[in-house]
Amino acid sequence: MEDVKKTGGISVQTEHIFPIIKKWLYSEKEIFLREIVSNACDAVTKLKRLVSLGQVHGIENDYRIDVIYSKKDQTLTVKDNGIGMTEEELDKYLCNIALSGALDFIQKYEGEGEDGGKNGIIGHFGLGFYSAFMVSDTVDVITRSYTGAPAVKWVCGEDGSYELSPDSREERGTSVVMHINESESDFVTEEKVREILQKYCSFIPVEIYFSTDEKAGEEPVNEVSPLWQKNSSDCTKEEYDEFYKKQFSDFKEPLFSIHLNADYPLNFKGILYFPKINTEYESLEGQIKLYYNQVFVSDNIKEIIPDYLLMLKGVLDCPELPLNVSRSYLQNNSYVTKVSQHIVKKIADKLNSLFNTEREYFEKIWNDIRIFVEYGSLRDRKFYDRVKNSVLFPTAEGGHISLGEYKEKHKELCEGKVYYANDKNAQAQYTELFRSQGIEVLLLDKVLDTQFISLIEQDDESVKFYRVDSGLDDSLKAEGEAKLSDKLKDCFKSVSGDEKLEVKAEMLKDESLPAVVNVSEESRRFGDMMKMYGGGESSLPVERTLILNMSCPTVEKLNALCENGRDVSLEAKQIYRLALLLGGGLDPASTKEFIDDSMKIMDKALSGND
Ligand code: ADP
Ligand code: MG
């Protein structure tokens, strides 16, 4: 070439560095376009900044980025009308790897403008520009600075060798022309380019037009001011819902949203959504999309937010995050910790405000958010501390009650005891026993409930949870002494076939009930935990107590007859089985026996009438 002004090689031993960039710099090849488009966006943002600082005049507000895919030429061009580069700048920023121009610009204009001159410049992704070589064998940069300095053309090969020459370009700005490597021509297609733009560039703050050989782009492919950048007071519920549906391809409306807007020093924005989960079996996996100054970065950000928040959906825009550093660094990063603490606080605030001001709606959606709150509380004690007063419990009657309300309601009756059922049907009779005395029974039948109530008990020593079949509250007992003969006691022990069974007598207010079987809360809960963690049965037997109700006339009669030497084992066995039935049922063999014995008793009664 005749007018070649200068030739050279990218410094820092590029023969070694280029293959590294190509192979390992980014695990995902597709991000090359994000890098080139965000450089174009930076170039526009910088020029806008200079205009707003009054450093430049006479620039029209027609900023745009064009992405042009030519199948026939096998090129992909990203063109902007931003700040452009002089020959010196090009030499400085593109011929020296690791010299970020973004950093230079920020330092130069630091402290100027209302946001310290820093906000909005993307830069910092790493060796951004060179990622173009992941798909190109040659990259041309044709650029003309806003200063009016002569345009230059820079052509760089994949081995890092380049040529710099004057160019006739008259418009301000830069075009980056990527000559697609033959081996990448299947990867870089019109569809793929569209897809990448949609994924990474949907919210970039400068309008992007996409054109092909056949068709020039007429509408921008992006939204320059996404909802999360607005003030929450300027957004409507419809806008939040619509944004959610579009971003997360969900036809269901979210339960509610939280608009995040953290000031300095955290300086991040976002919107979080509680999705509606249809069934207990539906995947609880949410999706949080992370942005960096409106450029999509990733939706796989386990290191950045607590795992229980990953059940949510939403967007976070964190311009402060050092995204080019390793993920293991992020795990111990104090900024990251503060961001997640802030998010947790905002979520708790929202839940508390729903509890306090929109109780009816809160109860309606509680079933959907309950698992999140319980799991979050178990994972993060601070979260529990923030939300504990707003945690609701479903009641067996179908309502909801908070722990504070339960304690207040039963102040005199239960003294910190909280009664619950975990099988609505099987424990219905016990539940009724409590309800008949004005004691509310919670329905705790979800997987996490056992662990969750342990957490509550640890947190508040004045509270203890008892399953309805674990004991009889004093308020269920009537006056008077329950007298049980030793003979009847032994009789029950022997007919039960359970050597460890304890037999006790009580006087209950409810006279219709002959007996109940109680299961020790502690040994049963231990067994439940073993099942959950170990997958097996606990080796300790569950301690059970048969409580005979001496205020029931039939039991009283049985006691007297037994005392007088009559064989009542058939009737005793029947009563024992009735107690088991009350507690949820009999096994198949006992059911058969129960029916046979019932027939015998009936025969006896009928023949007595002969
Ligand atoms: P970074 O964006 O982190 O600074 P890059 O490797 O992506 O690093 O870009 C290096 C530098 O090249 C930029 O900082 C900028 O000065 C310059 N540059 C790249 N693309 C453009 C462009 N389209 N317009 C003007 N300058 C650009
Ligand atoms: Mg860059």
Quote the mean pLDDT of the chain: 86
- The pLDDT of residue 159 is 78
Tell me the per-residue pLDDT of 304-326, one tens digit each, with 9 for 90 and over.
777 888 788 999 998 887 655 45
Highest mean pLDDT pick, 185-194, 497-506, 587-596: 185-194
Which tokens sit at 231?
């003030």
- CA of 181 relative to ligand 1 center, distance in Å: 22
Which tokens sit at 164?
């710099």
Please state the pTM of the whole predicted model.
0.81
Query: Whose C-alpha lies nearest to ligand 1, atom 9?
Result: 129
Query: Whose C-alpha lies nearest to ligand 1, atom 12?
Result: 93
- The pLDDT of residue 319 is 87
- CA of 275 relative to ligand 2 center, distance in Å: 35
CB 517 within 8 A of CB 469: yes
66: Cβ below 6 Å to ligand 1?
no
For 9-31, b/e burial (b = at least 16 CB within 10 A) is: ebeeebeebbeebbeebbeebbb
- The pLDDT of residue 308 is 83
Residues 349-371 have a mean pLDDT of 95
Nearest atom, ligand 1, residue 94 CA: 12
**Is residue 224 scored above 90 in pLDDT?**
yes
Mutate to test the pocket of ligand 1, among 17, 90, 99, 129 (most ligand atoms within 8 A of CB): 129
Question: pLDDT band for position 6 (50/70/90)?
Answer: confident
Question: How far apart (Å, rounded) are the C-alpha atoms in residues 388 and 163?
Answer: 66
Calculated CA dihedral for residues 367, 369, 370, 372, nearest 10 degrees: 150
Count helices and strands (H / E) in the chain: 19, 21
Question: How far apart (Å, rounded) are the C-alpha atoms in residues 191 and 196?
Answer: 9
- The pLDDT of residue 192 is 97
- The pLDDT of residue 117 is 40
Query: Whose C-alpha lies nearest to ligand 1, atom 16?
Result: 101
**Is residue 580 scored above 70 in pLDDT?**
yes
Question: How far apart (Å, rounded) are the C-alpha atoms in residues 345 and 351?
Answer: 10
Query: Higher pLDDT residue, 500 or 66?
Result: 66
- The pLDDT of residue 114 is 47
Question: How far apart (Å, rounded) are the C-alpha atoms in residues 42 and 35?
Answer: 10
Q: Provide the edge-to-edge strand list for the sheet that holds 268-274.
A: 256-262, 268-274, 313-317, 287-292, 295-298
The alpha-carbon radius of gyration of the chain (Å, integer) is: 37
Question: How far apart (Å, rounded) are the C-alpha atoms in residues 34 and 140?
Answer: 17
**Is residue 359 scored above 90 in pLDDT?**
yes
133: Cβ below 6 Å to ligand 1?
no
Residues 388-414 have a mean pLDDT of 91
**Is residue 33 scored above 70 in pLDDT?**
yes
Q: What percent of the chain has pLDDT over 70?
A: 85
- CA of 465 relative to ligand 2 center, distance in Å: 58
**Is residue 327 scored above 70 in pLDDT?**
no
Question: How far apart (Å, rounded) are the C-alpha atoms in residues 65 and 197?
Answer: 12
Query: Whose C-alpha lies nearest to ligand 1, atom 7?
Result: 128
* Residues facing residue 66 across a β-bridge: 79, 209
Ligand nearest to the CA of 38: 2
Which tokens sit at 388?
């504990």
Q: What are phi and psi of 472, to 5 degrees?
A: -110, 125
**Is residue 525 scored above 80 in pLDDT?**
yes
Residues 337-365 have a mean pLDDT of 94
- The pLDDT of residue 253 is 92
Query: Whose C-alpha lies nearest to ligand 1, atom 23?
Result: 40
CA distances from 150 to 103, 140, 276, 393 (A): 24, 17, 58, 73
Cis amide linkage into residue 265, ω under 30° from 0: yes
Tell me the per-residue pLDDT of 99-145, one tens digit each, with 9 for 90 and over.
455 556 556 665 555 444 444 555 555 568 888 988 999 999 999 99
- The pLDDT of residue 115 is 46
**Is residue 68 scored above 80 in pLDDT?**
yes
CB 406 within 8 A of CB 451: no
Residues 410-439 have a mean pLDDT of 86
- The pLDDT of residue 41 is 96
The helix or strand, by DSSP H or E, that contains position 367, with its residue range, turns out to be: helix 359-379
- The pLDDT of residue 118 is 46
Highest mean pLDDT pick, 119-123, 408-412, 445-449, 559-563: 559-563
**Is residue 281 scored above 60 in pLDDT?**
no
Question: Which of 47-56, 340-349, 370-379, 577-586 has the least mean pLDDT?
Answer: 577-586
**Is residue 579 scored above 70 in pLDDT?**
yes
Question: Which of 2-11, 126-135, 557-566, 580-589 has the least mean pLDDT?
Answer: 2-11
Nearest atom, ligand 1, residue 125 CA: 3
Nearest atom, ligand 1, residue 46 CA: 25
For 551-566, b/e burial (b = at least 16 CB within 10 A) is: bbeebbebbebbeeee
Ligand nearest to the CA of 91: 1
The helix or strand, by DSSP H or E, that contains position 179, with its residue range, turns out to be: strand 173-180
